Structure 1
Amino acid sequence: MMERIVAILILLLLPCGLIAEDRAPNPQAGYEHLINTPYLPPYFDQETFDNVWKVWPKPLRDQAEGADADTRRQMAFERYGLTGRSEDPTKPLQYVVDQKGNWTLNCFSCHGGQVDGKTVPGLPNNRFDFAGITDEIRLTKALLGKRLVPTDYSSLVFPMGDNKGTTNAVNFGVALLSLRDADLNLVPGASFPKMLHHDMEPPPWWHFAKKENIYLDGFAPKGHRGLLQFTLVKENKAQAFRDREDDFRDVYAYLSSLEAPKYPGPIDPAKADRGRIIFNNHCSECHGTYGDKADYPERMVPIDVVKTDRARFDSLTPAHRQAYGQSWFNTHGQQKGLIADPEGYVAPPLDGVWATAPYLHNGSVPTLWHLLHPGERPQVWRWKGLAYDHQQMGISVEVLNEVPQGLSSIDRREVFDTSRFGKSATGHDFPNVLSDAEKEDLLEYLKTL
């Protein structure tokens, strides 16, 4: 049961992709696979989702009781961080919903979000509450007398994320792969290794095309097989991964086709032009250049230089990375470029950076303004609403002196406390060399990327 629980969770780990020898990969087919093909066992059914409001706190429950079905659905979408699909707003982008009404988590749970009122596939979903929906679906099933599945217990036995939009994704992959051999056959009696649990924010998928290696520490060579890791449920035998390669060749093509969304607000050309010079002088060495001569160096920055929270850096050992490198996912080591013992974190591309708040790999910094002003980063902050903050460029937040007492578990995950393990907002202090005027110009330039 534990293996299946963690297998459902690994959805949050990665993008997905592949390329068949007898046909060209199809990006649109890749998108269709993600939203229509259940690669995991179903989690709950439509009846359960339609009744989940009945376990909400009384004020919200009373509001839902007096609402129509469409309003209730939208309330549930907002509570758990779900968004409607552009082609059918009644269906969640983050789940496959089959003709029988079964709901199965897909990659968009973490990699499909909303910014400035617009749903963007490939955008980090900074509102997804995996623990929240899991806990309340379990309660709803009990209320309806429905059979529970292993995933219903997942948040009770495996950390799923202390804040909305972040998950313990890396450890999902480590745990599930540890139960199989290099050919992905299940190993009788295998158990999970000791792991350092921590939360992190997913990367935007439009970065995928620019990279040779994936993950925050850049340890894994990019390839379609590795992107099948999220289907490592016990029910999927080793042959299932071979059978699905064509699907994920299409998904790989889909990820590679994505482009960053354009900033929708006004941009001051003069300030942005001054900001471009500042960026090229101070930021491009790590984050690359943009425009006609765009170049991305995929540079790894030593942990003692970037000085951001090191929980993610410390969470994987060389043995963990080597196990992946010698497995079927990495063509049994034939793909070159595995980094078993990286020095730190890879500086990401900044295409569409305006849309990807909160910032740093653990989602601890709410806006780009705060990222550029390290001394002003809030120690405790809370979501103030879904509106985009065009002034500071990021999510709208309320700065708090401490975490309020008496919050429900879901409301608690709206509050980010940077004093907690793995949640630090320190590091990336490089903007300290800039004046306030230079930071203002740089902020304007970032809107253009």
Structure 2
Amino acid sequence: MRPLLLIGLGLLSLTMEAGHPELPSQPLPKAPPAGSVRFAIPEEPQRPGDPKAGYDTLVNGDYVSCGVPWSIYRMAFGDAPASRRLPGRRGHNARLSYDVTALKTSRGVEVVTANCLGCHATPTEDGVIIGLGNSALDLTEDFAPFATAAGLLVRDSGELAEWWRWSGRIRAVSPYTRPDTIGVNPADNLAAVLSAHRDPDTLAWSDEPRHELPREAPVPADVPAWWLLRKKHAMFHTGIGRGDHARLMMSASMLCTDSVEEAERIDSTFNDVRAYLTTLRPPRYPYPIDRKLAAEGRELFEAFCSECHGTYGDKESYPNLIIPLEEVGTDPLLWQATAREGLPMVEWFNRSFYGRTARLVPGPGYVAPPLDGIWATAPYLHNGSVPTVEAVLDSRKRPTWWRRSFSQRQFDPVALGWKHQVLSHGKAAETDPSLRKRIYDTTLPGYSNQGHTFGDELSEEQRHAVIEYLKTL
């Protein structure tokens, strides 16, 4: 039932101090391939907001205005454990898990719905880390039958109407938002399906799609950390989200937003949400750091990596570059799904209420992201295909098939990322469905771990130094 509620949002980690030998001279980076042009995304003005009010909206707000009737939710769940609660929540929300919100609909019916934190926060033994994408989220099951069956428990006519509205949306999006791997996020497919079912001028829901739907199998994507937003001129892995970031963020409420008037109400609070997100900072690396080796790594990083990923510390900078596909070489399917197949969604968005202050602009490749808190954000690349930073910097260490344990004590401080099991087979050879969905199979479309081979030019010692420096960001 918990994943069901998450879909209701809108589908949508010890080194010892020691001496190290002198590092050999670092090689110079190779020139980009002929014809490759990096594109710097220009900065655009953002609306000011109140971070305190933004936090309150995020954890208490009714920006997703449909959901499971409260009476049904309480049949299935009791109060959330303390480690899954958040401060500053009011009413029923004070007792609920961080990823769901209780609210009253316009009909006065109490419902519980998933909120943004279902994808953009991670629960740990010590509490919830807001802004860290949930890479253990399991959305692999078909939840439409559960949404339908929940209505059998409803007796009140008002609740029945709210259940019917919510469950209908779930049935519409469910076939397109079901990845086959735990941790994969289908947000792009969700947005495409929701736009197909809405009038761009009025935002009214249509049971029949108004334009072409995306492919059913969602293209895999990893959820970027929210604390990176303060540096970004554009949103999403391809940099397609331009203009008013608050307007782009609040479009995640499209599952339930049925009129321009409701969209305007939600929009009036999301400049505050954006302001709150810009105050987030990554958690500090929790283990000892070899400071001498990290200093050596910083010199290497600034000579070899900073042109794309920026600099850190006293002289912080970030270039906001889109790196063309032919240069970065990573799996092209996510780019293709937005820049080519996603054109109906692009056209719909830019014509709609959301496009009045924001816009979708397909670019030539993928954004080289800021690396603040990179130690905490495994897996890596835009599709989550690489389990450790060590393997990002050495493409020869990337497993073709791998499976992680979802225990919270599976951080690898040497390779910097997830401890994982390298497998000799992919999904097709796995007969146990519960294990199959835990396998990351890089031979499948969209799941490739190729590209970003720039670190292959470094020596093993140089890579270790860069990894030690990355722990300090």
Q: Which residue of 1 aligns with 2:312?
A: 290
Q: Distance in 2 between matches of 1:159 and 1:134?
A: 10
Q: Secondary structure at the match of 1:386?
A: coil
Residue 372 of structure 1 contacts residue 439 of structure 1 at CA under 8 Å; is this kept in 2?
yes
Relative distance call for 1:83 and 1:419 in structure 2 (3 A) is: farther
Is 1:109 aligned to 2:109, yes or no? no
Relative distance call for 1:427 and 1:243 in structure 2 (3 A) is: same
Q: 2:349 aligns with which of 324, 328, 331?
A: 324
Relative distance call for 1:200 and 1:49 in structure 2 (3 A) is: farther
Q: Secondary structure at the match of 2:86?
A: coil
Q: 1:279 aligns with which of 279, 285, 301?
A: 301
Q: Distance in 2 between matches of 1:170 and 1:342?
A: 16
Q: Secondary structure at the match of 1:381?
A: strand
The one-letter code of the counterpart of 1:378 is P
Residue 6 of structure 1 contacts residue 172 of structure 1 at CA under 8 Å; is this kept in 2?
no
Is 1:372 aligned to 2:377, yes or no? no
Q: Distance in 1 between matches of 2:234 and 2:306?
A: 19
The one-letter code of the counterpart of 1:328 is F
Is 1:170 aligned to 2:188, yes or no? yes
Q: Which residue of 1 aligns with 2:10?
A: 10
Q: Which residue of 1 aligns with 2:30?
A: none
Relative distance call for 1:9 and 1:104 in structure 2 (3 A) is: closer
The one-letter code of the counterpart of 1:193 is E
The one-letter code of the counterpart of 2:210 is S
Structure with larger Rg: 2
Is 1:243 aligned to 2:261, yes or no? no
* Deviation per residue, 1:293-321 (Å, 9 max, x gap): 10000001000111111110100235543
Q: Secondary structure at the match of 1:232?
A: helix
- 1:418 is displaced (CA, Å) by 1.2
Residue 286 of structure 1 contacts residue 299 of structure 1 at CA under 8 Å; is this kept in 2?
yes
- 1:225 is displaced (CA, Å) by 1.7
Is 1:431 aligned to 2:461, yes or no? no
- 1:416 is displaced (CA, Å) by 1.1
Which sections of structure 1, spanning at least 5 residues, go unmatched? Answer: 13-17, 53-68
* Deviation per residue, 1:385-407 (Å, 9 max, x gap): 22122222112211111146332
- 1:134 is displaced (CA, Å) by 3.4
Which range moves more in the overlay, 128-137 or 33-42? 128-137
Residue 323 of structure 2 contacts residue 365 of structure 2 at CA under 8 Å; is this kept in 1?
yes
Q: Which residue of 2 aligns with 1:91?
A: 96
Is 1:161 aligned to 2:170, yes or no? no
Is 1:349 aligned to 2:350, yes or no? no
Is 1:395 aligned to 2:418, yes or no? yes
Residue 178 of structure 1 contacts residue 193 of structure 1 at CA under 8 Å; is this kept in 2?
yes
Q: Distance in 1 between matches of 2:173 and 2:433?
A: 15
Residue 43 of structure 1 contacts residue 104 of structure 1 at CA under 8 Å; is this kept in 2?
yes
How does 1:46-57 map onto structure 2 within 5 Å? 48=73, 51=76
Aligned length: 408
Q: Secondary structure at the match of 2:118?
A: helix
Q: Which residue of 2 aligns with 1:405?
A: 430
Relative distance call for 1:438 and 1:90 in structure 2 (3 A) is: farther
Q: Which residue of 1 aligns with 2:382?
A: 361
Q: Which residue of 2 aligns with 1:203?
A: 224
Q: Distance in 2 between matches of 1:393 and 1:346?
A: 22
* Deviation per residue, 1:194-219 (Å, 9 max, x gap): 42431211111111111111111112
Residue 276 of structure 1 contacts residue 445 of structure 1 at CA under 8 Å; is this kept in 2?
yes
The one-letter code of the counterpart of 1:371 is V
The one-letter code of the counterpart of 1:239 is E
Residue 84 of structure 2 contacts residue 127 of structure 2 at CA under 8 Å; is this kept in 1?
no
Q: Secondary structure at the match of 1:370?
A: helix
RMSD over aligned Cα atoms: 3.3
Q: Distance in 2 between matches of 1:426 and 1:7?
A: 30
Is 1:381 aligned to 2:402, yes or no? yes
For normalisation by structure 2, the TM-score amounts to 0.76
Relative distance call for 1:156 and 1:340 in structure 2 (3 A) is: closer
Q: Distance in 2 between matches of 1:184 and 1:423?
A: 37
Residue 297 of structure 2 contacts residue 467 of structure 2 at CA under 8 Å; is this kept in 1?
yes
Which sections of structure 2, spanning at least 5 residues, go unmatched? Answer: 13-44
Q: Distance in 1 between matches of 2:316 and 2:273?
A: 25
Residue 9 of structure 2 contacts residue 115 of structure 2 at CA under 8 Å; is this kept in 1?
no
Which range moves more in the overlay, 411-420 or 43-52? 43-52
Residue 131 of structure 1 contacts residue 155 of structure 1 at CA under 8 Å; is this kept in 2?
no
Q: Distance in 1 between matches of 2:178 and 2:134?
A: 15
Q: Secondary structure at the match of 1:41?
A: coil
The one-letter code of the counterpart of 2:52 is Q
Q: Which residue of 2 aligns with 1:43?
A: 68
Residue 219 of structure 1 contacts residue 321 of structure 1 at CA under 8 Å; is this kept in 2?
no
Residue 239 of structure 2 contacts residue 362 of structure 2 at CA under 8 Å; is this kept in 1?
no
Relative distance call for 1:191 and 1:235 in structure 2 (3 A) is: same
Q: Secondary structure at the match of 2:129?
A: strand
Is 1:185 aligned to 2:185, yes or no? no
Q: 2:137 aligns with which of 128, 133, 148?
A: 128
Q: Distance in 2 between matches of 1:390 and 1:49?
A: 41
For normalisation by structure 1, the TM-score amounts to 0.80
Q: Distance in 2 between matches of 1:272 and 1:129?
A: 36
* Deviation per residue, 1:92-150 (Å, 9 max, x gap): 21111359874201111111014685521011111112344937955984896897723
Is 1:306 aligned to 2:320, yes or no? no
Which range moves more in the overlay, 240-249 or 42-51? 42-51
Residue 301 of structure 1 contacts residue 347 of structure 1 at CA under 8 Å; is this kept in 2?
yes
